């Protein structure tokens, strides 16, 4: 005679065999007769949760938990169900309750660590991963996850150590090798990172994220064509991979393929609307595109802001800053560029020459790989806050706790900068500094500029109020710069024009105008250099085809493509007679470098900030005649200068001295001018508060 099985046993068997709906029917019938059958309640909750109905599961688990509060498993079930619903705070609470009951359960620590990692509580995740490893040190994935959160915190040596331990346990796992590659890439060991990702693909070529990670590392090596190929492989495997679309856009921008880049950024946003990197990259790439009107550019920035701002909680109601117009002010600088970077070099004089009796300086630094310049910033800042891995809300909370009076967002759209922190309104006054256009945010109060970048009749549109300095750009003379060489034309027998700008800036309009310059100066050449990017055949072909279509033979275009030291880079200006500035995205640091090395720069002045940066530098250097207003004047200026060899020799001999004596290199005066601007806007805010009261 067959053994009679209980309804609970039947339901369990049905569930295990994949018949969840039938199992649920059996359990509901059983609970109709036995509403306090806690095993049935628990199993039905599991069935509901795993069938995509955590909302129906939670009341069942809660009923069991009230009766069995010491049962860790029911709290784990509640945690997972709440996690499915996006109720992360509740899920964290249930995981913690389970750990109070079973503190030595490594799986519980791992689950909580994973949830905290996903919610950007990196220190909390680190603590639980470390505890899990104390209990069970042989879990490769926990070592790897720990390494991942350590990377996000900027603890790169420790991160690499964790990934090494993971690979010692499981050397045949593709994802573990790729995770090591991510850590090595962040640490600056790019060659080793590429090796790790390639080893991962040898093990399993079918994982989209590994192709994406390899592409990212190859970009850091200026191997953009290979990066593009790997991003395409990632997308072939995972067509809805938003991050890969965004990274592909970056690589295509680097190759100057702007339309294709923008299309990929938009694909990323269509998949993941809050993909902030893609949104920022669109704003950067638009600055390279010729023919966009100020009105169109402004509309794109407002659209970006409208897409990103919803859901952000502002702290302005909690502002308690004392509206005293004479007290010492707390200035908070927010940046990823406190390092060897053009923005960092531009703002460092504000730290070195800060009037510490009037200003207390805080740095909120998202610098994953610090360098010697980072150490200098740390030495001169009153307070250093590392924000690597912290959420925007957490950073805003830190600023509020520090009582920041004026928050300064540096180069918001570029690099790893965090413009959305400003939307939280952690300070009563907020300033955009060294960004390329308007932020688009109503919460950004001021945009620092000067009278050349934004003349009184500027056509540019912006959400901020303009705050004009005597001069915006400031450069520290290069102490280790090589001596200025003699004029190349004197020994070459022809004029060499040059541009060491990002090739993304060399669009079709630039190519056509530079071709006219070359035509106007017989036998002249054009030398192009930017890191080692010009080693890319795709990039060379784009430019050579463009010049050839405009009547310039390919042998007149010279490419320099190798990684060099900064001193070697400056030394290559010894091969250039006249520098040509691109448009609409002008050069700033490249303009100063050329002038410092005795090379005059010709620039076409546009209608927007980004198309007037080189003009501003030339104007403040006393070289305003080289900043022209029409393409025809650009060609004429370049031609006339090329024909005046004596003038070129004089410029080459005295440009460095002229630059050193200009407002562009007067750091003490620059610091005072910026601090005066801070005082002006602070006093304005104080007056507004008194009028409100």
Tell me the pLDDT tens digit for each residue of 36-67: 776 766 666 677 767 777 777 787 778 777 87
Q: Are 279 and 307 in contact (CB under 8 A)?
A: yes
The first and second tokens of residue 675, run together, are: 């601090």
Please tell me the predicted confidence (pLDDT) of residue 237: 98
Alpha helices by DSSP H, 136-189: 140-152, 156-169, 174-187
pLDDT band at residue 183, thresholds of 50, 70 and 90? very high
Q: Are 479 and 261 in contact (CB under 8 A)?
A: no
Quickly tell me which residue has 């463009």 as its tokens.
546
Q: Report, as an integer, the average pLDDT of 365-382.
A: 94
The predicted-structure confidence for 234-271, as pLDDT tens digits, reads as follows: 999 999 999 999 999 999 999 999 999 999 999 999 99
Q: Report, as an integer, the average pLDDT of 95-117.
A: 95
Quickly tell me which residue has 């109070």 as its tokens.
100
Quickly tell me which residue has 């509640």 as its tokens.
78
The predicted-structure confidence for 6-35, as pLDDT tens digits, reads as follows: 877 766 776 677 776 776 666 667 666 666
Please tell me the predicted confidence (pLDDT) of residue 313: 86
pLDDT band at residue 2, thresholds of 50, 70 and 90? very low
pLDDT over threshold 60, residue 662: yes
Distance CA 403, CA 242 (A): 37
Please tell me the predicted confidence (pLDDT) of residue 1: 35
Q: Are 282 and 304 in contact (CB under 8 A)?
A: yes
Q: Report, as an integer, the average pLDDT of 344-370.
A: 95
The first and second tokens of residue 377, run together, are: 């910033």
Q: Report, as an integer, the average pLDDT of 529-545.
A: 96
Please tell me the predicted confidence (pLDDT) of residue 465: 98
Q: Could you tell me how far CA 190 lies from the centroid of its own chain?
A: 18
Distance CA 72, CA 65 (A): 9
Please tell me the predicted confidence (pLDDT) of residue 63: 77
Q: Report, as an integer, the average pLDDT of 197-217.
A: 98
DSSP state, 494? S
Give bridge partners of residue 216 from the DSSP assignment: none
- With 0-12 CB in 10 A as exposed, 13-18 as middle and 19+ as buried, what is 16? exposed
Q: Are 281 and 417 in contact (CB under 8 A)?
A: no
Q: Report, as an integer, the average pLDDT of 547-565.
A: 95
Distance CA 430, CA 432 (A): 7
Distance CA 271, CA 293 (A): 28
Q: Are 533 and 561 in contact (CB under 8 A)?
A: yes
Number of neighbouring beta carbons within 10 Å of residue 31: 16
Please tell me the predicted confidence (pLDDT) of residue 4: 53
Choose the weakest-confidence range: 179-183, 529-533, 560-564, 603-607. 560-564
pLDDT band at residue 652, thresholds of 50, 70 and 90? very high
pLDDT over threshold 70, residue 468: yes
Q: Are 203 and 174 in contact (CB under 8 A)?
A: yes
Distance CA 268, CA 274 (A): 9
Please tell me the predicted confidence (pLDDT) of residue 73: 87
Give bridge partners of residue 497 from the DSSP assignment: 526, 578
Q: Report, as an integer, the average pLDDT of 134-140.
A: 97
CB-based contacts of 621, cutoff 8 Å, min separation 6:
595, 658, 659, 662, 664
pLDDT over threshold 90, residue 380: yes
Q: Are 163 and 189 in contact (CB under 8 A)?
A: no
Give the strand pairing for 557-560 and 578-580.
unpaired
DSSP string, 411-474: STTSTT--GGGGGG--SSEEEEES-SS----TT--EEEEETTTS-TT-----SSEEEEES-S--
What are the phi and psi torsion angles at 497 (to 5°)? -85, 165
Number of neighbouring beta carbons within 10 Å of residue 61: 28
Q: Are 101 and 88 in contact (CB under 8 A)?
A: no
Q: Report, as an integer, the average pLDDT of 120-134.
A: 95
pTM for the whole structure: 0.91
Alpha helices by DSSP H, 223-341: 224-237, 242-254, 258-271, 276-286, 294-308
Please tell me the predicted confidence (pLDDT) of residue 23: 63
Compute the C-alpha angle 557/562/568, nearest 5°.
100
Compute the C-alpha angle 438/445/341, nearest 5°.
55
The predicted-structure confidence for 296-339, as pLDDT tens digits, reads as follows: 999 999 999 998 888 888 887 778 899 999 999 999 999 999 99
Please tell me the predicted confidence (pLDDT) of residue 693: 60
Please tell me the predicted confidence (pLDDT) of residue 559: 97
Distance CA 513, CA 176 (A): 50
Give me the domains of the chain, ranges plus CATH numbers. Answer: 328-469 (3.40.50.11380), 488-665 (3.40.50.2000)
Q: How far apart are the first and last CA of the chain?
A: 90
Q: What is the mean pLDDT of the chain?
A: 93
Torsion from C-alpha of 603, 605, 606, 610, nearest 10 degrees? 60
CB-based contacts of 409, cutoff 8 Å, min separation 6:
334, 335, 417, 418, 419, 421, 422, 430, 431, 432, 433, 435, 439, 444
Q: Are 308 and 279 in contact (CB under 8 A)?
A: yes
């Amino acid at each position: 005679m067959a053994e009679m099985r209980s309804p609970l046993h039947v339901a369990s068997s049905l569930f295990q065999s994949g018949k969840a709906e039938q199992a649920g029917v059996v359990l509901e019938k059983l609970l109709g007769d036995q509403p306090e059958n806690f095993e049935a309640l628990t199993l039905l909750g599991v069935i509901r949760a795993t069938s995509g109905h955590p909302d129906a599961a939670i009341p069942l688990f809660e009923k069991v938990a009230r009766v069995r509060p010491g049962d860790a498993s029911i709290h784990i079930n509640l945690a997972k169900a709440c996690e499915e619903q996006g109720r992360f705070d509740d899920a964290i609470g249930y995981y913690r309750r389970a750990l109070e009951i079973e503190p030595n359960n490594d799986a519980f620590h791992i689950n909580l660590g994973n949830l905290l990692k996903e919610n950007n509580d990196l220190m909390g995740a680190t603590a639980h991963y470390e505890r899990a490893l104390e209990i069970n040190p042989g879990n490769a994935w926990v070592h790897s996850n720990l390494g991942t959160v350590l990377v996000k915190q900027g603890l790169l040596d420790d991160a690499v150590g964790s990934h090494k331990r993971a690979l010692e346990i499981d050397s045949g796992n593709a994802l573990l090798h790729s995770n090591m590659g991510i850590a090595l890439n962040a640490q600056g060991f790019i060659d080793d990172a590429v090796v790790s990702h390639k080893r991962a693909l040898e093990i399993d070529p079918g994982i989209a994220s590994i192709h994406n990670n390899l592409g990212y590392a190859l970009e850091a090596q200026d191997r953009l064509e290979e990066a593009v190929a790997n991003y395409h492989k990632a997308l072939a495997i995972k067509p809805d991979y938003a991050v890969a679309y965004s990274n592909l856009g970056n690589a295509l921008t680097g190759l100057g393929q702007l339309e294709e880049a923008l299309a990929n950024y938009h694909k990323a946003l269509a998949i993941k609307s809050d993909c902030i990197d893609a949104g920022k990259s669109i704003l950067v790439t638009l600055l390279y595109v010729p023919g966009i009107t100020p009105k169109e550019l402004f509309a794109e920035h407002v659209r970006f802001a409208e897409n990103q701002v919803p859901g952000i909680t502002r702290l302005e109601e909690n502002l308690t800053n004392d509206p005293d117009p004479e007290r010492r002010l707390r200035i908070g600088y927010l940046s990823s560029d406190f390092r060897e970077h053009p923005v960092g070099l531009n703002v460092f004089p504000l730290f070195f020459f800060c009037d510490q009796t009037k200003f207390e300086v805080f740095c909120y630094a998202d610098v994953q790989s610090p360098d010697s310049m980072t150490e200098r910033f740390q030495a001169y800042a009153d307070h250093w806050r590392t924000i690597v891995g912290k959420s925007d809300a957490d950073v805003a909370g830190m600023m509020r706790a520090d009582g920041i009076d004026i928050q300064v967002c540096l180069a918001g759209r570029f690099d790893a900068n965090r413009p959305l922190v400003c939307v939280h309104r952690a300070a009563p006054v907020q300033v955009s500094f060294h960004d390329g256009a308007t932020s688009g945010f109503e919460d950004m109060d001021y945009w620092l500029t000067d009278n050349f970048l934004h003349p009184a009749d500027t056509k540019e549109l912006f959400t901020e109020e303009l705050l004009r300095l005597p001069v915006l750009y400031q450069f520290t003379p290069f102490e280790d710069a090589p001596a200025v060489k003699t004029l190349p034309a004197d020994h070459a027998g022809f004029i060499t024009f040059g541009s060491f700008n990002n090739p993304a800036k060399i669009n079709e309009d630039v190519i056509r105008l530079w071709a006219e310059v070359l035509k106007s100066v017989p036998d002249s050449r054009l030398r192009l250099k930017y890191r080692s990017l010009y080693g890319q055949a795709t990039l060379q072909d784009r430019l050579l085809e463009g010049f050839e279509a405009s009547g310039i033979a390919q042998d007149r275009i010279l490419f320099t493509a190798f990684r060099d030291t900064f001193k070697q880079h400056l030394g290559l200006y010894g091969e250039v007679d006249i520098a040509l500035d691109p448009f609409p995205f002008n050069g700033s640091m490249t303009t100063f470098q050329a002038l410092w090395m005795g090379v005059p720069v010709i620039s076409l002045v546009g209608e927007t900030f980004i198309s007037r940066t080189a003009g501003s530098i030339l104007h403040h250097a006393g070289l305003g005649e080289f900043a022209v207003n029409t393409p025809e004047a650009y060609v004429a200026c370049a031609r006339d200068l090329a024909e005046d060899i004596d003038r070129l020799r004089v410029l080459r001999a005295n440009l460095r001295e002229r630059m050193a004596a200009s407002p562009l290199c007067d750091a003490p005066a620059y610091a005072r001018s910026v601090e005066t601007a801070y005082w002006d806007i602070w006093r304005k805010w104080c007056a507004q508060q008194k009028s409100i009261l």
